[in-house]
A and B are shown apart, each in its own frame.
Chain A
Amino acid sequence: MEFEKPLAEWKGQVQEIKLSDKVIIGGEQVFPNYSFDGKCSNKPAVAIEINDVFPENWPENLKEIWNTDTLKSPVERAKKAEKEFGADIIFFDMIGTHQDRENISANQAAENMNAILKAVDTPVIVRPDGNFEKQNKIFAKCCELAERQIIIGSAKEDNYRTITASALAGNHFIIAEAPIDVNIQKQLNILITQMNFPLERIIMDPMTGGLGYGFEYTYSVMERIRLQTFMDDPFMIPPMVCCVGQETWKIKEIKIEDEKYGSKPERGINWETTTAIGLILSGANIVVVRHPESVIKIKNFIDSIYQKSDCLQQGI
Chain B
Amino acid sequence: MSKQIIELAIQGYQEQLNNTKAVVQKTENKIPADKKITFPETAYNLPLYFAFTGKKIHSISDAQNLIDEIEKKNSNIISADIDLTETLDLGIDTIILQELQLAVESSAGEQINFIPDNVLRSLGVQLVSGDISGIAVIIGAARDEETAVEIIRTLQEKNILSVLAADYEGKTMFEQLSNQNVEMTLDTYIVHLGNKTESVVLGLNWAIRAALTYGGLEGGQKEKCLKYCSDRIPAFALVLGGVDAKKVATAVGAIAMGFPIICNFEVPEISVKDDHGFEQKLLTFELNSNKLVEKCLEVRNIKVKVTEVPIPVRYSSAFEGERVRKEDVALEFGGKYSKAFEFVEMKNLDEVENGKIEVIGKKINEVEESSALPLGIVVYVAGRKMQKDFEPILEIRFHNFLNQATGIMHIGHRSFVWLRISKEAKKAGFKIKHLGTILQTKFLDEFHSIIDKVEIHIYTELEMINKFMPTAEKLYHERDQRMGAMTDESVDVFYSCTLCQSFAPNHVCIITPERLGLCGAYNWLDGKAAFQISPTGPNQPVEKGEVVNAEIGEWEGVNEFVYKASNNTLERFSAYSLIKYPMTSCGCFECIIAILPGTGGFMIVDRTFLEMTPCGMTFSTLAGVVGGGQQTPGFLGIGLNYIVSKKFVSAEGGLKRLVWMPSYVKERFREKLDKRADELVVPGLVDKIADETICSDLAGLIEFLAEKDHPALKMGELI
Q: Point out residues on A near B: beta carbons under 8 Å.
A: 136, 139-140, 143-144, 161-162, 164-166, 168-169, 180-183, 187, 190-191, 194-198, 221, 224, 227-228, 231
Contacts and interface: CB of A to CB of B under 8 A. Distances in A.
B124 A191 contact: no
Contact of B536 (A136, A169, A187, A196): A187
B213 interface: yes
26 contacts: A136-B129, A140-B126, A144-B121, A144-B122, A144-B125, A161-B128, A164-B128, A165-B125, A166-B125, A168-B214, A169-B121, A169-B124, A169-B125, A180-B502, A181-B502, A182-B505, A187-B536, A187-B538, A191-B536, A195-B214, A196-B215, A196-B228, A198-B216, A221-B502, A231-B567, A231-B568
A227 B567 contact: yes
Interface string B473-507: 00000000000000000000000001101100100
A227 B213 CA distance: 34
Contacts of B536: 187, 190-191, 194
Interface in B391-428: none
> Of residues A162, A183, A198, A224, which shows the largest number of chain B Cβ atoms within 10 Å of its Cβ?
A183
Given A162-B129, A195-B128, A140 B501 contact: no
Interface string B116-154: 001001101111111100000000000000000000000
B216 A196 contact: yes
Contact of A161 (B118, B122, B129): B129
Nearest to A160: B129
Contacts of B127: 165
Contact of B130 (A140, A161, A169, A198): A161
Contacts of B121: 144, 169
Contact of A182 (B118, B125, B129, B501): B501
B327 to A, nearest CB: 36
A162 B131 contact: yes
Interface of B: 118, 121-122, 124-131, 213-216, 228, 498-499, 501-502, 505, 534, 536-538, 567-568
A187 B531 CA distance: 13
Nearest to A188: B536
B275 to A, nearest CB: 16
Contacts of A196: 214-216, 228
Contacts of B502: 180-183, 221
A229 to B, nearest CB: 12
Given A181-B502, A182-B502, A168 B216 contact: yes
A169 B498 contact: no
Interface of B is mostly: helix
Nearest to A187: B536
A140 B125 contact: yes
Contacts of B129: 136, 161-162, 164-165
> Of residues B122, B125, B498, B499, which shows the largest number of chain A Cβ atoms within 10 Å of its Cβ?
B125
A191 B536 CA distance: 8
A169 B214 contact: yes
Contacts of B568: 231
Given A140-B126, A183-B538, 13 more contacts: A144-B118, A144-B122, A164-B129, A165-B127, A166-B125, A168-B216, A169-B121, A180-B502, A181-B502, A182-B502, A187-B538, A190-B536, A197-B216
Contacts of B122: 140, 144
B498 to A, nearest CB: 6
Contacts of A198: 216
A168 B501 contact: no
B509 to A, nearest CB: 13
Contacts of A195: 128, 214
Contacts of B499: 183
A197 B537 CA distance: 19
Contacts of A168: 128, 213-214, 216
Contacts of A224: 505, 567
A183 B536 CA distance: 10
Nearest to A235: B536
A142 to B, nearest CB: 11
Contacts of A144: 118, 121-122, 125
Contacts of A181: 502
B157 to A, nearest CB: 19
A167 to B, nearest CB: 10
A227 B127 CA distance: 37
A195 B127 CA distance: 12
Contacts of B501: 182-183
Contacts of A228: 567
A191 B122 CA distance: 21
Contacts of A164: 128-129
A165 B118 contact: no
B567 A165 contact: no
B594 to A, nearest CB: 29
A136 to B, nearest CB: 7
A166 B499 CA distance: 30
Given A162-B131, A168-B213, A196-B216, A187 B537 contact: yes
Given A187-B536, A196-B215, A224-B505, A162 B567 contact: no
B216 A162 contact: no
Contacts of A194: 536
A191 B124 CA distance: 18
A181 B130 CA distance: 26
Nearest to B506: A224
A105 B121 CA distance: 19
A297 B137 CA distance: 60
Contacts of B534: 187
B500 to A, nearest CB: 9
Given A182-B505, A187-B537, A169 B118 contact: no
A132 B118 CA distance: 23
